[in-house]
Structure 1
Amino acid sequence: MGLMTNLLNPKVAVLYLSLLPQFISPGKGDVLSQLLVLGTTQIAISLTVNAIIAVTAGSIAVFLAGRPLWLVIQRWMMGTVLTALALKMATDAQR
């Protein structure tokens, strides 16, 4: 589902159409091959980073699932953070 979301995301096309051409030098070879190399490099880096994030998140989830106290601490911490953000937004809106 994440792959399809990224493939259908128009921001990806904007990235490739606006950012990558800045790094293309027509005097250094075929423009299409340079675009393909840059695009492939960006995709490989993104895939690697996203895979590391997914594996790390899975490891953390397994760790937390085996320790109920950590789950309680996590819920309280997240609740505290969200409450603090809500209070900040409420006080900023009154100004």
Structure 2
Amino acid sequence: MEYFGEEALGLVETRGMVPAIEAADVMCKTADVILVSYENVGSGLVTVMVKGDVAAVRNAVEKGAAAAAAIGDLTAAHVMPRPVSRVGKIVSRHDIDE
């Protein structure tokens, strides 16, 4: 099975854009992670995705989720260490740089 490399994928989901932007800002300032994308899921839900090494992503998601919860509604936060390549392909379809 092929993996997303040695990187982890971190996701923070909020209700509304403002806490999502706060989470993204804190995640990028807290740890050496790359902001991959954000996605308006629907019903006001916004998911922010970051990638990097597992420890950095865990730290970033923890701090970003706390920051989002402090100013709005946090609905989910999750870290996926070394996701399979098919997950990586889904994520890259929403890449900010493309």
Scaled by the length of structure 2, what TM-score is found? 0.24
Greater RCO (Cα-Cα under 8 Å, separation 6 or more)? 2
Of Structure 1 and Structure 2, the greater strand share is in: 2
